[in-house]
Amino acid sequence: MNSKYRKAFPPQLLYVFVLINFNIFAQTSTLGLEVNKLSKYIASNKFKELKLKMHDNERTDTLFEKALEITNGNYREALFALTFTVIPYNYVPIKIPLINVVFNYPLISACENVFDLKNKNLPKYLFFSSPTDNFGDKDKLAHFFGSAFLSYSNNIFDLTELIGYFVEVFEQYFKVQSSIDPRDIHADTLGDLFGRLLKENKKVFPSQLMMMKTLFYCRFNIP
């Protein structure tokens, strides 16, 4: 696994493992089908050619719309499927303490050829400050949609601090190979706001929140 991808591992994936409150076997089957369909869409020439017509954050809107189409308008399920689909790797290395053994925990993903094409076509210039290299901000998509899933699904009380504590303990004990990046946190914050807004207004789109990041960059020079 590319070290850049390792560092980009979104802690939201650890969050959702805690929050799953449905039959894991049935959900895994459904989620796998949804991830596969979304991955094929991103890998398609149709999605790739959208780069000629719109900005990458607008292409992210089409991903959101496609996820809603695939999940029959289920916003929670669409955000959950998107979180796994846009991750640019298919496993996360975890180091077990004491015995110091590293194993690769597999993530739900499409077959290898679709997976590679999907990664190549992922939107990468999401913000005004996005890196201009070939990778750009591809890793921020999982942070954004993972946080959106959490905030949209949280209908009882705010679990943010509790989940954050769990992730910190998990990473310290099992030594998940990841690092904290302020830009990841910004993507988390925007995703969280997106999920909260979706509860009140189903007409909001990811690009509108991503534009806020650009405005903050221009006003306060926040990377």
Whole-structure pTM value: 0.76
* Residue 158 pLDDT: 54
Amino acid at 107: L
Domain boundaries, the chain: 3-220
Per-residue pLDDT of the chain (223 residues; tens, 9 = 90+): 444 444 444 555 554 544 443 434 444 578 889 999 999 999 999 999 998 889 888 999 999 999 999 999 999 999 989 988 998 887 777 666 667 777 777 777 788 899 999 999 999 988 877 888 888 888 889 889 988 988 898 764 555 444 444 444 444 444 544 556 677 788 888 998 999 999 999 999 999 998 876 665 555 455 5
Q: What is the DSSP string of the chain?
A: --HHHHHT--THHHHHHHH--S-HHHHHHHHHHHHHHHHHHHHSHHHHHGGGTS-HHHHHHHHHHHHHHHTTT-HHHHHHHHHHHT-S-SEEEEEETTTTEEEEEE-----HHHHHHHHHHS----STT---SSSTTTTHHHHHHHHHHHHHH--SS--HHHHHHHHHHHHHHH-BS----HHHHHHHHHHHHHHHHHHH-TT--HHHHHHHHHHHHHHH---
* Residue 39 pLDDT: 96
- For 107-158, the pLDDT digits (tens) are 777 888 999 999 999 999 888 778 888 888 888 898 899 889 888 987 645 5
* Residue 79 pLDDT: 94
* Residue 164 pLDDT: 46
